[in-house]
Structure 1
Amino acid sequence: MQKKNHIIGFFVGCLAVCSLWFTLNLQEYNFSIAILISVICYSIGHLSGCYVFEVIPQTTLICSFLLFVFFTTYFIPPINKYRKELNPNKEEFLKTAPPELVLTTTALGGLRGFLIDMLWLRANKLRDEGKHYEIIQLYDLIGKLEPRLPSIWEFTAWEMSYNIAASTPKKEEKWRWILKGIEQLRNYGIRYNPGSYKLYWQLAFIFFHKAGVNNKEQYGSYFQQQIIKTSNDVLGTRPNLQALVDAPRSYGLLLKHQDIKPLLEKRDYIEKINNRLSQEISLSSVNKVIYEEIKNHKIGLDEDQQKKLLKAYALLQKHWMVKNLHQKFGMSPKKMLAIEKKYLKIDWRLAAAHSLYWAQEGVDIQSRKPDSWMEIEQNKVKVQNMNRLRFNALREIFEYGFPVDFSDDKLICIPNFHVIEPLNELFTELQEIWGENGIVSHEEFLRDVVKTTYVYGRKDIANKYYKRMRKLFKNPEYKKSLQDYVIFEIARKIDFWGRSSELEAYIIGFLKRGYLDLFKNFVDEEGKKRALEFQYFAKLVHAQYVKRHGEVKHLAKPYRHFVETAQKSIKNTLASQNGKQRGQKIWENIRAAYPELIIVK
């Protein structure tokens, strides 16, 4: 046969093998059988191609061409179906993507791969040379050249938040790089790959691991304080999420809102004030501007007009909050409110709260995957990891739910008892996923609940969950009385763990419990006796705290600091329950009656 006949025969044989594999799905066959069938199919196809081309060469070429067209078009619908299930949404992405991304993803074509390789090599060289700030531009270019590849955003964010941040000496520089890694995922990676649950897990993990209260970083408390400050600048301490859900995010919707009508009389004015507010970087400065405007604007208005004016300015404030919440944090007040409805009230200034938000987003994305995806063992592990991160964030919110004092790079928090029951329900929900490990974790969680609630004076909650522990887990330790068990558990924690943040929480908790006994048993020797007992416990834990964490300069705080922090929290509680003046009076009475318990020399 002629040489060209063999070439045609080769292509026809390859086409026959491909057809066989697509038709019979030979991947499920034994490897040796699949190879044998493929060789036979290729031989038949090769000989047939050579013979037919020798007889009618033009017809052979036309038939081969039509066969190739058939197989390429026949499998397009199922391929598109699988692509849609995996959620790449390329077409939707191109509709909403910025112009520079549309250009790089369509105009450059195959040249993108070559450019990306060159940029990676350059970035690795700059990293080895310690030229970190030049790397930002390269990572930005790489992301824009291949924005739909989640692993690029995942790698660059990890590189910034961990490797580069670890190589910088100053805490301010470390935080700058950690924040840059967070923004890489939050502002770009997730925006261009909304269906990639890996990016949500990575973002939630960086928040939890780098800025959480229990992180092991040298400057971990400083990182947590930066999260609190930036969140406070946008949301304040106690945002009304329902009001933010109803507030307009865009300027066009703001103009259509009925509450803004009092300011629409002067169109130039509302544009001017909105532009001025857009330039402010913190909620406190926004409130200051609004206060000045209200003061000048309400002159000559009656009471009804003033109320409408206050509503209009309140709407301007909420509009600023919602817009900045989306722009700076990529978060939706509607989703935040849904999380609070599921788990109760949360302090959104905490890094753990941000971690919970993104972990919950990842859980929601995984839940929308098809059943076939969930049946794969590797994917089951991914679901476990995402839920474990969600649980750990919630647990940290329970243990350190409300920051009461942060100064000198040290953060003091008190627990959030509202999330105990939702956390306990979450264990039941995830028990099937976690298996035996979930049972062990559940018992450890209940131990912490009993110990923490007792220390903070919530004996009712401690009793409730201690009874539940006795019922669920047959442990001889649980035969002790509640008080004996709590003392035993604290000693066990100090001996085997002894984290500084946990010991600090115990010290404050013991002191607060003692003060609460004084308030409930005013001029009562029994109350004084219990208060002295809790102060004794606090001093014992503080001694252990100094022993473990006081060798490094400024790492351990003096006992006076914890007394002042506990008293500050108690004063706030008294003021909220009895009013400022009445609360202050109660405090002065206790101070006069028990100076040895209040005044620390």
Structure 2
Amino acid sequence: MHKDTKIQLLAAGVLAIALGVSALLTTAVSAEAGRAQLGYADRIEDSDPPEVAVGIALGAFRGLFVNMLWMRANSLKEEGKFYESIELARTITRLQPHFPRVWAFQAWNMAYNISVATKTAEERWMWVKAGVDLLRREGIPRNPNDMQLHRELAWIFNHKIQGYADDANMYYKRRHAEEWTVALGAPPPRAATTEASTERYVRWLRNIAASPDTLAEAIRREPGVETLVRRIRDEVRLPLDANLLRAVEIHLALTDSWAAREGLVTLSEETRNDALMRLLTDDDLTEAWRMLLGHLRKRLVIDEYKMEFPRMIRYTRKYGPLDWRHPSSHALYWTLRGVEEGLARINISDWDQTNTDRLALQSVQELARFGDLQYSILDDTYSAMPSSDFIPVYGELLEELLERAAFFERQDRAFTLYALGYQNFLRDTVRFYYRSGDYELAEQYYERLRTWHGRNIDDPDFDLEQFTKPIAQFIQDDLEDRLISPNVALQEFDGAMRAGFQRGLLRGRRDVFDANARHARAVHEYYMAEQLRRTTIDPDAERMELFPRVFEDAAARSLVSLALGGQLGPEAVATIYRRAPLWLQQPAYDALVGALAGVSPAELDDSDPQGAAIARLFPEPPNMAEYRQLRRAQRDTDDRSRQEGVRTEQQ
């Protein structure tokens, strides 16, 4: 047989074997592709643009066509034609749903480029939310192991919503807090220790996670649910979804609000639902409500927000009492999830992992700076104070990340961003604890700042001599030019007020309180003068408005936050209140009584043991009627001036 013939026969045999193996593997590969959602679009829907039809018709040449669309979308973006660009991006995601970069491109376009081109805070939030939902509901489910998409979603939460760069950021924060108050309900109150608070939050999430998966199961567990559902549909006329949950939260807040009972807060006709209120106050339906609300919350979180309760519970237990009304809690969730899922991939990029890990640290930092959150769905008030619960978490997470650090953050490098970030965090922590009057913890963190083994050795801004100074001098020098930073100003203000309360008033040292109050007032005045800027986007809040504009109101908010934080008992809080000057008692009184008793001062019943105790612990300051009237007049004047100022800027 000729040599060439042998080669041809051998090649034919190899080809036959390859075709046979291919036929055997086709079914398994197709099945796995289906399970992993790796298929491409192969049919046209009515809403699809013409490009989808062309792409499907091109078959094997689809990749070239998608590349052309991708280049065109980038060109449109650079030309500022964001809406046209987003339409092309949608086409690409339809043709190739496993092209992660186009999902990130489209979400960024919505959350950043298109949002800032709109005129109102409501419009901006609509586009920011659209970017979040695109990644959370579509991009990540179709690319569950892609670390980049998780990082992009976390970045929007941490930078766009939690950050202060956008003029409408305070509006974003209120809307996000409202959304998650609706989804999960108000979180449990904080306990005296981080560990106890964490256990409360874990139980809270577990109760929702243990709720029925289906309405049929809810009815099986509690037959009264069937009656409740029928009455909701017939009388309340709200669907069994987030709309019902929102209405329930508003009406529950209304029943708990003494301000509402006093007529100071009312619901509009379109919001008020008397039929719902009757059902909520029906004692025979209490267990049915508990079962139904748990089911609806569970389905909302799983189906709409694509989040996993076991993972939420695990992160809460590990990192502390995560308040899901806070954007950075979500940033932390998605960064951690992205790394956990992405590390399972063989060709994971070190750069992707490093950037995602850095964002996890930034999320914890934001929780330490602003993690003590208060939000009322009834009047849409929002405030965030520093939370010491997350201060030790930063160092613990850093040590964990250093164990898997890629080239860019290895400990044997002379300079890393991990080390720089932790050094800055330690500076803030030392200052916060010192200003709060916890000198022992301040000294501990100051010592760690001086001796931490991971410190950058090639840092031109690092001067070892500055850490040999007494701690008071170090803090004074460290504050120079930093009070315009929101987190520095808030930590200085709240730390000074808490030190004045606990080390001054609680110990009978009025001089200590006065000194700390003077420092807090100076911080407040300086920050307001430097950073308060009116915008036309959100007429209800300035872009950098961390504090109430009136110092006395800001100080009262710190006292209320301390009272609700659980670190001090009611007797200690009452001692601070009774020893406080009149300028602090008056703005704090109504809020304290309302928060602790759930009733207005006028509703306190001396014959009731709780009412008598609160009346004894927190006596009403003199001249409160005149004070309330004066403050209402001041608020009306301020509202008119703000609206006038907005109109002037718009002209």
Q: Structure 2 length normalisation: TM-score?
A: 0.67
User: Is 1:148 matched with 2:104?
Assistant: no
Partners of 1:578 and 1:452 lie apart in 2 by 17
Cα distance change on mapping 1:139 and 1:560 into 2, 3 Å: closer
| 2:157 paired residue number | 207
Distance apart, 1:411 and its partner CA: 6.3
Q: Does the Cα contact within 8 Å between 1:401 and 1:415 map onto a contact in 2?
A: yes
Partners of 1:70 and 1:225 lie apart in 2 by 64
Out of 286, 292, 295, the position equivalent to 1:316 is: 292
Distance apart, 1:394 and its partner CA: 0.9
Q: Which amino acid aligns with 1:189?
A: G
Partners of 1:96 and 1:563 lie apart in 2 by 61
1:447-482 CA-to-partner distances (Å, cap 9, x unmatched) read 221112233344443233223334437933333444
Q: Does the Cα contact within 8 Å between 1:508 and 1:562 map onto a contact in 2?
A: no
User: Is 1:223 matched with 2:161?
Assistant: no
Distance apart, 1:549 and its partner CA: 2.0
User: Is 1:278 matched with 2:273?
Assistant: no
Cα distance change on mapping 1:275 and 1:77 into 2, 3 Å: farther
Distance apart, 1:346 and its partner CA: 1.3
User: Is 1:446 matched with 2:426?
Assistant: yes
Matches within 5 A, 1:106-505: 109-110=59-60, 112-113=62-63, 116=66, 138-213=88-163, 215-238=164-187, 240-256=204-220, 258=221, 260-263=222-225, 276=238, 278-281=240-243, 283-286=245-248, 288=251, 292-293=278-279, 295-296=281-282, 298=284, 310-370=286-346, 373=347, 379-404=349-374, 412-432=383-403, 433=405, 434=409, 435=411, 436-437=415-416, 438-472=418-452, 475-491=464-480, 493-494=482-483, 498-505=484-491
User: Is 1:529 matched with 2:493?
Assistant: no
1:424-455 CA-to-partner distances (Å, cap 9, x unmatched) read 11222223412341333332222221112233
Q: Does the Cα contact within 8 Å between 1:470 and 1:478 map onto a contact in 2?
A: yes
| 1:403 alignment partner, SS class | strand
Greater fraction helix = 1
Q: Does the Cα contact within 8 Å between 2:232 and 2:238 map onto a contact in 1?
A: no
Distance apart, 1:333 and its partner CA: 2.2
Which one has more relative contact order, counting CA pairs under 8 Å at least 6 apart? 2
Q: Which amino acid aligns with 1:392?
A: Q
Partners of 1:447 and 1:77 lie apart in 2 by 63
Matches within 5 A, 1:17-166: 64-71=11-18, 90-94=33-37, 109-110=59-60, 112-113=62-63, 116=66, 138-166=88-116
Q: Which amino acid aligns with 1:154?
A: A
Q: Does the Cα contact within 8 Å between 1:397 and 1:415 map onto a contact in 2?
A: yes
Partners of 2:338 and 2:217 lie apart in 1 by 30
1:130-178 CA-to-partner distances (Å, cap 9, x unmatched) read 7755665554343222212222212222222233334334433332222
Distance apart, 1:423 and its partner CA: 1.7
Partners of 2:322 and 2:181 lie apart in 1 by 14
Q: Which amino acid aligns with 2:352?
A: K
Distance apart, 1:338 and its partner CA: 0.8
Q: Does the Cα contact within 8 Å between 1:286 and 1:317 map onto a contact in 2?
A: no
Partners of 2:382 and 2:230 lie apart in 1 by 46
Identity of aligned residues (%): 22
Partners of 1:352 and 1:272 lie apart in 2 by 40
| 1:152 alignment partner, SS class | helix
Q: Which amino acid aligns with 1:68?
A: L
Cα distance change on mapping 1:131 and 1:446 into 2, 3 Å: closer
1:530-569 CA-to-partner distances (Å, cap 9, x unmatched) read 1122122223323432453247675676875343133134
- The answer for unaligned runs of 5 or more in structure 1 is 1-47, 299-308
Q: Does the Cα contact within 8 Å between 2:82 and 2:113 map onto a contact in 1?
A: no
Q: Which amino acid aligns with 2:486?
A: S
Distance apart, 1:509 and its partner CA: 3.0
Q: Structure 1 length normalisation: TM-score?
A: 0.72
1:21-74 CA-to-partner distances (Å, cap 9, x unmatched) read xxxxxxxxxxxxxxxxxxxxxxxxxxx9xx867xx6xx8876544433445666
Partners of 2:353 and 2:304 lie apart in 1 by 28
Cα distance change on mapping 1:282 and 1:424 into 2, 3 Å: farther
Distance apart, 1:353 and its partner CA: 1.0
Partners of 2:66 and 2:39 lie apart in 1 by 23
| 2:324 alignment partner, SS class | coil
Partners of 1:576 and 1:355 lie apart in 2 by 24
Partners of 2:15 and 2:158 lie apart in 1 by 52
Cα distance change on mapping 1:180 and 1:295 into 2, 3 Å: closer
Partners of 2:3 and 2:139 lie apart in 1 by 54
Distance apart, 1:341 and its partner CA: 0.8
Partners of 1:462 and 1:155 lie apart in 2 by 44
Q: How many residues align?
A: 516
| 1:545 alignment partner, SS class | helix
Query: RMSD value over aligned CA atoms?
Result: 4.5
Cα distance change on mapping 1:145 and 1:562 into 2, 3 Å: farther
Q: Does the Cα contact within 8 Å between 1:182 and 1:206 map onto a contact in 2?
A: yes
Partners of 1:584 and 1:415 lie apart in 2 by 19
Cα distance change on mapping 1:514 and 1:74 into 2, 3 Å: same
Q: Does the Cα contact within 8 Å between 2:482 and 2:488 map onto a contact in 1?
A: no
| 2:496 paired residue number | 510
| 2:557 paired residue number | 568
Partners of 1:489 and 1:414 lie apart in 2 by 21
Partners of 2:487 and 2:381 lie apart in 1 by 9
Q: Which amino acid aligns with 2:167?
A: Q
Partners of 1:233 and 1:264 lie apart in 2 by 22
Distance apart, 1:125 and its partner CA: 8.3
User: Is 1:595 matched with 2:595?
Assistant: no
1:302-333 CA-to-partner distances (Å, cap 9, x unmatched) read xxxxxxx5333211111111111223322122
